[in-house]
Amino acid sequence: MKRIKMGCTTLSIPAMALGIMRMNQKSVPEAQVAIQAAYDAGINFIDSADIYGGGKSEEIFGQAFSQMQIKREEMFIQSKTGIVPGKRYDFSKEHILHSVDEILERMQLDYLDSLVLHRPDALMDPEEVAEAFDQLQAAGKVRFFGVSNFDTAQFKLLQSCLSQRLMFNQLQFSLKHTGMIDFGMHMNMVDKPSVDRDSQFLDYARLHKVTVQAWSPFQYGMFEGTFIDNDGFPKLNQELQKLADKYEVGKNAIAAAWILCHPANIQMLVGSMNPQHIRDSAKGAKIRLTRQEWYDLYLAAGNYLP
């Protein structure tokens, strides 16, 4: 598994993480198979959130992991908080502290390697968040911190009040969600791809050594479904299959390789609970697409160059 540096640190993390959003749909033994498949492929980074399955995903993970032979210190375990189901976003100190305690209980852990704030809260008080982070770190409950779906200004605002460096920002990125790179190639134009919807965060991340975590790497839309083997995207799947045959892997590996080839050292979040898909996706970290292959996939996904 390809390894990358985490944020501004010298710590090494895998270029892929296992997202457990769908783990609530699995039995404990099935969850163990998925975790083991990821671990055996070099993916020793877990990404969760307190909202996944209403907390059930973390409960299943906790029961599964506690019965496995993998040592806690061999895993990097991350969770997210801040979404109150169907009601609001909440970055209050009280909510953050309470959520972490509940996450640790569900996952049967003493600490989280990373806590990520899940989608921006319009009522965020950066100084209040800073107090929560300081308290969590001092108590040994959280080692590192990050955010999810923040634009550049929101990221800077929060960072200005923190004593810790923010390590991560989770952003949607895939062959069918390319806004972070479209507008740069359509600079000074008036077409749809020229619109900057991400406030140039990818460039900011490279300048300030922030790890971008790409979510939904095989999805189109927000949660409409996967583009892999989808009849609605024949040209893209034809190109994926051509390269899959060349590199002797599955289509998931090629779609993963496309993301990981970007020089920003993006970490990709694999959300599948299918051991075969996990193993195939992991193979993408070993593939170095040519520049022409990378652009051929980009164009096959329905994009165009000016």
> Is-contact 287 258, C-beta < 8 A?
no
Q: Is 116 exposed, middle or buried (0-12, 13-18, 19+ CB in 10 A)?
A: buried
Tally Cβ neighbours within 10 Å of residue 152.
Answer: 18
Would you tell me how many other CB atoms lie within 10 Å of the CB of residue 206? 14
pLDDT value at position 86?
83
| pLDDT value of position 269 | 98
Structure tokens at 10: 């010298």
Backbone angles phi, psi at 190, to 5 degrees: -120, 15
Residue 127 is encoded by which pair of tokens? 């100084």
pTM: 0.95
DSSP code, position 266: P
- pLDDT, tens digit, 9 for 90 and up, residues 40-97: 999 999 999 999 999 999 999 999 999 999 999 999 999 999 999 888 999 999 999 9
Three-class DSSP category at 95: helix
Structure tokens at 302: 């329905």
Flag residues of the chain having pLDDT under 50: none
Give the 3-state DSSP-derived string for 115-136, with helices as H, strands as E and coil as C.
EEEECCCCCCCHHHHHHHHHHH
Q: What domains does the chain contain, in order, with CATH numbers?
A: 10-300 (3.20.20.100)
